[in-house]
Structure 1
Amino acid sequence: MRYTPMAAVVAAVLLIGAGASTRHDDPEVAVEATLAGQGTPAKLGVGGFPVTGLYPGAEQRMTVMVHNPYRFPVTLTAVSGKVTAVNRKGCTVTSADLTIGRYAGKPALPARIGSGRLIRIGYLPVRMPRTVANACQGATFTLRLSITARKASK
């Protein structure tokens, strides 16, 4: 049988509040997507822990969770985030008001995720610049979290 790499892009919408800091044990949101060409109802899942306690000049880490329900390992090749909305007039969906940095932490990418595993992987740095608009104080931002994965080679 000929091996063809399979890829999937998964996105989750996460809300990020700038209020007081709290911790959660479960990801706020999980979204699923099927690995292309697998012909199975199982789906990759991705989620993240909400980020709170942001203020001008502050940076927090958004921990990312990935679930592989397949009967084979997958290789996670990319993790990213993008701000897609904000709930306050006068606050914009630009890097002037909130920035999402590059994936960091362990495991480094590409990362192998075993069959049936739900793992907490690294994080995305979330930063509110010192020059943020006053309208963004206490705002809730919506973040789209994306991962790219493929069937792991043997």
Structure 2
Amino acid sequence: MLKSSWTAAAAAAVLAGVLVAVAPDPPSVRDGDALLLVGRDGDQPDGPLHFVLEGKPVRGLYPGAVKQMKITVRNPLGFRISLQRLTATVSSSSRRGCPATAGNLRVREYSGRLPATVAATGRTELDGSIPIVMPVNASEKCAGADFTITVSGVGHRMSR
């Protein structure tokens, strides 16, 4: 059994697909916006592996609120993949007076069971979620701000 390990990360991605909206009337999110994560297959060094993580936008955050962001993994490849780890961080805020800090918005650890298998050319909504928390003492300037959450995953190609 040969397993090629890969790691996928996207530190600089701006995602409407996993945008956390903190506003009475959240901004619209275009269908199809998603994070594309790229890894390398050890057997095919010139052929990167691609999979997509899609986060359902979180709406209605206010100081003290905890909301759950659901994640879907899309595998366009012709073989199964196993997602081993999933992480998320707050990347940016749309409001100058509301920096993307833990004092204004926190992202907790993924709550579901991993590893998760995604079929060849399949799509899987993960059973858990990523808790998004706006602390009680968040800046008042954060009201109406949009936050970008960067999601990354680690896993490997599964043998047939």
Matched, 1:117 2:122: yes
Structure 2: gaps spanning 5 or more residues: none
Decide whether aligned partners of structure 1 residues 10 and 46 sit closer, same or farther in structure 2, where only a CA change above 3 A counts.
farther
Pairwise CA distance, 1:42: 6.1
CA distance in 2, matches of 1:80, 1:28: 21
Change (3 A) 1:28 1:69: closer
Determine the C-alpha separation between the residues in 2 that align with 1:27 and 1:50.
11
Q: Secondary structure at the match of 1:79?
A: strand
Compute the displacement of 1:86 (Å).
0.7
RMSD (Å), alpha carbons:
2.5
Change (3 A) 1:153 1:145: same
The partner residue of 1:31 within 30, 35, 40 is 35
**Cα 1:18/1:28, change in 2 over 3 Å:** farther
Aligned pair count reads 150
Relative to structure 1, is the Cα distance of residues 34 and 146 closer, same or farther in structure 2, using a 3 angstrom cutoff? closer
Secondary structure of the 1:7 match is strand
2:95 aligned partner: 88
Separation in structure 1 between the aligned mates of residue 20 and residue 89 of structure 2, nearest angstrom: 12
Q: Pick from 119, 123, 146: which aligns with 1:140? A: 146
Which residue of 2 is the match for residue 102 of structure 1?
A: 109
Distance 2:54 2:101 in 1: 22
Residue 47 in structure 1 maps to residue 54 in structure 2: yes
Q: Is the 8 A contact 2:40 2:48 kept in 1?
A: no
What SS does structure 1 have at the residue aligned with 2:5?
coil
CA contact (8 A) 1:35 1:150 kept: no
Is the Cα contact below 8 Å between 1:10 and 1:46 reproduced in 2? no
Deviation per CA, 1:70-112, whole angstroms, max 9, x where unpaired? 221111011111111111122121111000011113xx11111
Cα deviation for residue 32 of structure 1 reads: 2.0
Mapped contact 1:27–1:49 kept (Cα < 8 A): no
- What amino acid maps onto 2:111 in structure 1? A
Question: Could you tell me the TM-score, scaled by structure 2's length?
Answer: 0.81
Report the CA distance between 1:69 and its aligned residue.
Answer: 1.6
Mapped pair 1:16 → 2:20: yes
Q: Secondary structure at the match of 1:20?
A: coil
Where 2:132 maps in the other structure, the secondary structure is strand
Identity %: 29
Q: Relative to 1, partners in 2 of residues 1:7 and 1:21: Cα closer, same or farther, differing over 3 Å?
A: farther
